[in-house]
Amino acid sequence: MRLLVPILVAALGLQAQVPRPLEVQERRLANGARLLLVERQGLPAFSGTLVFQGGGAEEPTPTVGATDLLARTLFGTTWPEDLVPARNQTDLDALLKQEEGLLEAIRIERLRQRRDPAAPTQAPSLEASLETVQSRMKALFSSSPLSDLYTARGGRQKAMATADALLAQTELPLESFEFWCRTEAQRLRTVQLSRFSQARTSLIADLRSQGAQGMALLRGAALPGQPYGRDLLDYLPSLEALRWSDLRAYARRSLRPDRMMIILVGSFSMDTVLPVVERHLGTLPVPPDGEDAILPEIAADLGDRRVQAALGAGPRLLTGWRMPSRHHPDHLALRMAVQLLAGGQTSRLQTQLVRIKGLVRQAQMSLDVPGGRFPGLLVADLWPSDGHSLAEVEGALHSEILHLQQDPIPQDEWLRALAQLEAEHLLIEDEPAALARSLGMAWAEGGDWRLTDLDIQRLRALAPEAIQAAARAWLIPSHRTTVLLEPNPFASQDPIEAELVRVLKALASTRIADPAQREHLVSEGIRQLRMLSAEERLRTLKLLEAQLAPEKR
Amino acid sequence: MKSILVVLLAFSLSLRAQPAAQGFSLPNGLRVVLLEEHEHALVRANLHLRIEPGDVPPSRQGLPLLFHRMFDHAETADLKAGELDRMLEDSGILLAQSMEPGGLTWRLVARSRDQDRAMGLLADRLMRTLIDPSILEAQRLACRRQVERPEGSPHARLRQALTQDPASRPTLDSLNAIRLEDLLTFRAKVIRPERAILILHGDLGLEQAKRLVMLSLGSWAAQEPPSPRNPPPSAATAPAPSAPADAPRIPDPGKGIRIQAMASRPRDLAPEAAELLNLLVPGNAGLLSVQVAIENGWLLATLDGESGTPGSHLWSLLQERLEALRRRGFAQDDLDRARVAWFARRSLDSLHPEAQMDRALAEALGYGRSDERMKALSLDALNTGLRNWLDPAKLQMGASGDPGDLKTLPTL
């Protein structure tokens, strides 16, 4: 027996030093839902994640934005009136239907008014009725943030809509596990969406406030006609027309048990968890087979495309190459290419473009934009430093791509990139919610949650030549789309630039009569002046001001 | 004997789940807290250096920001530019420096097999970083740009403008006034082992941690400040805190107006009361369309209007709603429910190593939350805290939106 003590101590010590492989148990529930369990013994809390395959990319055109709306209104909060059938439940359903009718009537009335502004309108009376209905609904809503069922139990929840999946993540104390299963099952059975109109208004307001985005321009130009190329901002009218009952119907069709994965990380065993999950989430009904979304094929070599736009606060170069989906054998090689080019402070773009040449102040690269289930984009996002043009930056980027394709990759650089990816993998494993997200996305994008672990093993076995071959096959002009973003000089936040615009306009007005020509001249002048440093611009401003009549200075 | 072994095993398992804080200090004054956790072969270290109000001389607002940039871009001892980064990344070590309310923080994550190297590099960074006069102007320019033309959306810029305490908000004059010797004096005052708290988390035991910290940071000693050639101006010449007329207005052409009010957490507010207000205020139905969030000790209230909505109306509406909540306060039932939720939520920290480290740091800095004080918190104390936090005199307000709409705002 005395021997047991040192053995135990040694075993605990060993446990402390040797990294364990990721242990995931998988089961299939009766209704087709998948359950993954990662045991983390002794944790007093757990992480529970629901992943639904098929995100924004699978939305039919009339319901574009539905995944984002479901993330906000179905999974963003957990109000009792959305789950527990109560005395006033019938009232709430009736009010939601009335609200839907009034919202639709107001929308149509506004469209009619736009076509014929002189015609008599019923909008004010409809709006008054809507206000009455909404105030009656609010009386049925919970009034305290602690009425949220998870918050009251110390929990946290968040939901995320991606192009390939909808993820709903919850963290709760361990004793609330069965409560979580029951609540999620009830949520999916009821699909009440009581705060639908608020969520839609807030989504529309967010989209309007962020305005046009450079990344959306790139996606649209690089992936024309593809759901991955869609910009939600272009679908505001259909989002405004989307009704409560449409979204409910969409949720019932798309949030099916056979497209759902339940991922649990916590101090559980499969024996204790499985019966509870079966009892609640395993009894969700399976709707009749729907049609799988068929996405149009897109050729990677559509030709070299260029877009120039005046947008945002500063000049920016976005370059996207059409790349294969996560299933493709070259996908991992491209992941390593991104790591070598932009993964960390010693990566090639950071070293060459930021530190040594000072051409850009920020360089990022990302893979699988906006998703990895279908062919998407590999994107380089570069922000030029003051005094450097987009053309210079573009040339330098292409030169780095050519180096990667042609020159042998040094061993130390290769090992550094691998070490960074391994450390990143360990960090993901260490945090339950991050691990669940990674497993869920591997399943939603690549069809297999094991890719989380397999990818890192395959990366270790990859040869540098494979990276170069993939770079030569995919990072080529015919796969490329370039977006050159220049800030709009007339909405500039830079005080020197705003002053330059004023002075140039005043000077141009004395010489050019045509306003369009004048505006073009000022824009071009500002574009040229951006190549100068701040001090040179200030000096130029003073010189230009000196040419103005004293009363105009 | 068997039962003893079972207890030993259970104890070791519970240690893994909820790492108990183990503290020790080095002879140079560095305080260390270890949270031992062997689930993964990872070690995390957070080193926090406290900045005190007296560290920034009058009329030198922005000194911590400029120092942070200088330090972050400086070279370390005899290493060439980029060499430290290469050594870190060779082992997949993550090291980030950040300026947070109340201090400077270095966050380090490494595989446990690289812990010696990682801590050695952190120590090099702290003890052997050279303040390079040749980058002073470039970094001053970067700070000036941040002040003049902060990047990001108008909403982000409004928020940034409001979260700066007017008294410590850098101005172009204050940034231009900072000299190299101010930076060296600041370094000598702040980068000191007795000012620092090191939180370690992960795959290392107490003896291992002591050895590791002693080897890497045991020789850390404060540097002497340079003898001042021109003493900085006295406190009497310091500019007065900005008047409310400085309320930021950020132009956002064509966009709807956004009114925001920010209030920093009152210094005398008990941390337990702040935690419960964090559960009770955001999302409170009485605020109607006003969105409230509490983050990093700031209460942030936001009210958005469509383009064309009179700004003055929104401005007063936001004030009225906050004032109504302030007067109404909370009931005993609210307090009880918030307390139950707070006790339950503590277990969630076990899922987030960084949260465990932040909690340990808060406790080491003396503003940790205590179960006993939470149980004893009275309704009166909670509502007094709310009234102080939402005191209209302490609210900083600002707006973003179309320049035409901004003109309709009341003159403060």
User: pLDDT value at position A386?
Assistant: 82
Task: Please state the domain count of chain A.
Answer: 4
User: pLDDT value at position B13?
Assistant: 39
Q: Are residues A451 and A499 in the same domain?
A: no
Q: Cβ contacts (< 8 Å) between A47 and chain B: which residues?
A: 351
Nearest CA in chain A to B353: A431
Q: Cβ contacts (< 8 Å) between B400 and chain A: which residues?
A: none
Asked whether residue A288 is assigned to any structural domain, the reply reads: no
User: pLDDT value at position A20?
Assistant: 55
What tens digit of pLDDT does each residue of B1-23 get? Answer: 444 343 333 334 334 446 789 99
A395 half-sphere exposure, CB direction, 13 A CA radius:
7
What tens digit of pLDDT does each residue of A397-409 get? Answer: 999 999 999 999 9
Write out B68-84 in H/E/C secondary structure.
Answer: HHHHHHCCECCCCCCHH
Q: Are residues A216 and A102 in the same domain?
A: no
- Domain B17-217: CATH architecture, name and number where available: 2-Layer Sandwich (3.30)
Q: Are residues A346 and A495 in the same domain?
A: no
User: pLDDT value at position A289?
Assistant: 74
What tens digit of pLDDT does each residue of B45-63 get? Answer: 999 999 988 898 888 888 9
Confidence of residue B252 (pLDDT cuts 50, 70, 90): confident
Check B348 against A433: CB less than 8 A apart: no
**Cα–Cα distance, A4 to A549 (Å, whole number):** 96
What tens digit of pLDDT does each residue of B152-193 get? Answer: 677 888 887 887 776 777 888 888 899 999 999 999 999 999
Number of H helices, E strands in chain B: 16, 11
Out of A188-192, A312-316, A359-363, least confident range? A312-316
What tens digit of pLDDT does each residue of B195-248 get? Answer: 999 999 999 999 999 999 999 999 998 777 776 555 555 444 444 334 344 678
User: pLDDT value at position B229?
Assistant: 57
Q: Is A410 on the interface with B (CB under 8 A)?
A: no
Domain boundaries, position A122: 86-141
Asked whether residue A128 is assigned to any structural domain, the reply reads: yes
User: pLDDT value at position A550?
Assistant: 78
Instruction: Taking residues A453-465, report their average pLDDT.
Output: 93
Asked whether residue A410 is assigned to any structural domain, the reply reads: yes
The CATH number assigned to the domain holding A461 equals 3.30.830.10
Asked whether residue A299 is assigned to any structural domain, the reply reads: no
Asked whether residue A1 is assigned to any structural domain, the reply reads: no
Average pLDDT, chain A: 89
Out of A19, A148, A154, the one facing B41 most closely (by C-beta) is: A19
Confidence of residue A490 (pLDDT cuts 50, 70, 90): low
A 490-519: CB under 8 A from B: 491, 493-495
Asked whether residue A155 is assigned to any structural domain, the reply reads: yes
Domain boundary among A485, A517, A540: A485
Q: Are residues A57 and A200 in the same domain?
A: yes
**Cα–Cα distance, A458 to A438 (Å, whole number):** 17
- Is pLDDT at A2 greater than 70 in this prediction? no
Confidence of residue A290 (pLDDT cuts 50, 70, 90): low
Instruction: Taking residues A491-497, report their average pLDDT.
Output: 67
Q: Is A362 on the interface with B (CB under 8 A)?
A: no
Q: Are residues A458 and A333 in the same domain?
A: yes
Out of A8, A42, A355, the one facing B16 most closely (by C-beta) is: A42
Check A534 against B81: CB less than 8 A apart: no
Q: Are residues A364 and A406 in the same domain?
A: yes
Q: Are residues A446 and A371 in the same domain?
A: yes
Nearest CA in chain B to A350: B82
What tens digit of pLDDT does each residue of A512-522 get? Answer: 878 777 877 88
CB pairs under 8 A between A and B: 168
Instruction: Taking residues A427-435, report their average pLDDT.
Output: 95
Q: Are residues A97 and A53 in the same domain?
A: no
Instruction: Taking residues B338-349, report their average pLDDT.
Output: 95
A398: CB partners within 8 A, 6+ apart: none
Do the beta carbons of residue A418 and residue A403 sit within 8 Å?
Answer: no
Q: Are residues A53 and A168 in the same domain?
A: yes
Out of A13-22, A306-315, A446-455, least confident range? A13-22
The number of angstroms, rounded, from the C-alpha of A238 to the middle of its chain's C-alpha atoms is 21
Q: Are β-strands B291-295 and B298-304 bridged in parallel, bridged antiparallel, or unpaired? A: antiparallel
Q: Which CATH superfamily is domain B244-406 in?
A: Metalloenzyme, LuxS/M16 peptidase-like (3.30.830.10)
Q: Are residues A73 and A92 in the same domain?
A: no
Asked whether residue A15 is assigned to any structural domain, the reply reads: no
Confidence of residue A492 (pLDDT cuts 50, 70, 90): low
Confidence of residue B147 (pLDDT cuts 50, 70, 90): confident
Chain B interface, mutation test: which of A135, A142, A209, most B Cβ atoms within 10 Å?
A209
Q: Are residues A437 and A501 in the same domain?
A: no
Parts of chain B belonging to CATH 3.30.830.10: 17-217, 244-406
Instruction: Taking residues B360-379, report their average pLDDT.
Output: 92
Q: Are residues A129 and A150 in the same domain?
A: no
ipTM: 0.85
Out of B141, B283, B344, the one facing A153 most closely (by C-beta) is: B344
Instruction: Taking residues B23-34, report their average pLDDT.
Output: 96
Asked whether residue A297 is assigned to any structural domain, the reply reads: no
User: pLDDT value at position B41?
Assistant: 92
Share of chain A above pLDDT 90, in %: 69
Confidence of residue B81 (pLDDT cuts 50, 70, 90): low
- Is pLDDT at B88 greater than 90 in this prediction? yes
DSSP string spanning A149-181? HHHHTT-EEEEEE-SSEEEEEEEEEGGGHHHHH
Residue B269 is classified by DSSP as S
